[in-house]
Structure 1
Amino acid sequence: MKKNSVIIKTVLSMIVVSFLIQLSSCDKKQIRLSYYERPSYLITYSKNEIVIKSSKKKEAEHFFYKNGEYFNSKDSTLFFSVIKDTIVSIRNKEITFKMEIEKENNGLFKTTRFLLHNPGPKFSYSIYYYDSKYQISKIIENDLIICK
């Protein structure tokens, strides 16, 4: 009888200890945060407009169709084109931007926006890939690719 009582007490004490260990660990909270979060994009196509809403930005970008190409709504600058390769320079106060529109080998088109530092390198901050029907397949933002 004493042997059973000792076994029961030992088992009960082990249960109590394991319960106390679990309780003591509940006052700690661990959260894993990713250092890099990919943005998502909502792209809306209508007859004469493409609207791109990024999860990182508050405002959407609007592009309007005119003469077979799409233009930025802010300053009517050419943005998407399947007609010809183009380089556009934009000076906004003290900042100079450059856009390169070019056809890729695989039938895709690419618009790359650069931030220019004079003198110095140019930094790519957004790249849009799209097909001949202006259906956007990929957007890369904030790459900080250094191009010489």
Structure 2
Amino acid sequence: MEKEETMQNNNLIFIFTVCLLVISCKDERKINLEPQRIDYMYSVTYKKDSILVEKQEQGADVSPLNLYSLGGEYFDKRNDKLFLSTKRDTTFEVENMRFYYEIEIKKDMQKGIYETNIFLINQETKHYLMTYYYDVKYNIIKIDESKAVTFR
């Protein structure tokens, strides 16, 4: 009788341990970032080695930003260019269809966060488009978007 109770207790402990392991192995986390305007929002999905940023806007089909991890940094799947980095500050240009963009990645020393700034290059002038703010673990904290330049 005592042996049966011990086996039942061991079985319950085993089942509890397996359930706990299954629950703790979740490798996806999703958050929503809502801007001041209420006509759109960003959905950010974190997976083990990628980040998906989707803009959800009424009446608009906006292509998502799909980032993959390589060497501790995140790259844009569309063009394999660096997009998020906590390792280095850098600035470079990217051509996308008929537009040229400048990507500026830097650490804001005062705020202690990282930012990726995107500018549209048009006839030797730069127009601010947006900024992604993130922490050392690549958690996107905020996305700022220019209200002056929009694409439809």
- Shared fold per TM-score greater than 0.5: yes
Residue 134 of structure 1: SS of its match in structure 2? Answer: coil
Moved more, 45-54 or 85-94: 85-94
- Residue 137 of structure 2 corresponds to 133
Q: Which runs of no fewer than 5 residues in structure 2 stay unpaired?
A: 1-36
Shift of 1:38: 4.8
- Residue 113 of structure 1 corresponds to 118
Q: Distance in 1 between matches of 2:88 and 2:116?
A: 12
Mapping of residues 9-24 of structure 1, within 5 Å: none
Q: Which of 1 and 2 has higher RCO (CA within 8 Å, sep 6+)?
A: 2
Count how many residue pairs are aligned between Structure 1 and Structure 2: 109
Shift of 1:58: 3.5
Identity %: 30
Q: Is the 8 A contact 1:44 1:52 kept in 2?
A: yes
Shift of 1:96: 1.2
Distance of aligned partners of 1:39 and 1:67 in 2 relative to their CA distance in 1, 3 Å threshold: same
Whichever residue aligns with residue 108 of structure 1, its letter is: I
Q: Distance in 2 between matches of 1:109 and 1:58?
A: 25
Calculate the aligned-residue CA RMSD, in Å: 1.7
Give the TM-score normalised by the residue count of structure 2: 0.66
Shift of 1:90: 1.0
Q: Is the 8 A contact 1:112 1:128 kept in 2?
A: yes
Q: Distance in 1 between matches of 2:141 and 2:97?
A: 32
Distance of aligned partners of 1:42 and 1:129 in 2 relative to their CA distance in 1, 3 Å threshold: same
Shift of 1:40: 1.2
Residue 40 of structure 1: SS of its match in structure 2? Answer: strand
Shift of 1:52: 0.8
Q: Which runs of no fewer than 5 residues in structure 1 stay unpaired?
A: 1-35
Q: Greater Rg, structure 1 or structure 2?
A: 1
Choose the corresponding residue for 1:58, options 58, 62, 74. 62
- Residue 33 of structure 2 corresponds to none
Q: Distance in 1 between matches of 2:54 and 2:107?
A: 24
Distance of aligned partners of 1:112 and 1:144 in 2 relative to their CA distance in 1, 3 Å threshold: farther
Q: Is the 8 A contact 1:52 1:62 kept in 2?
A: yes
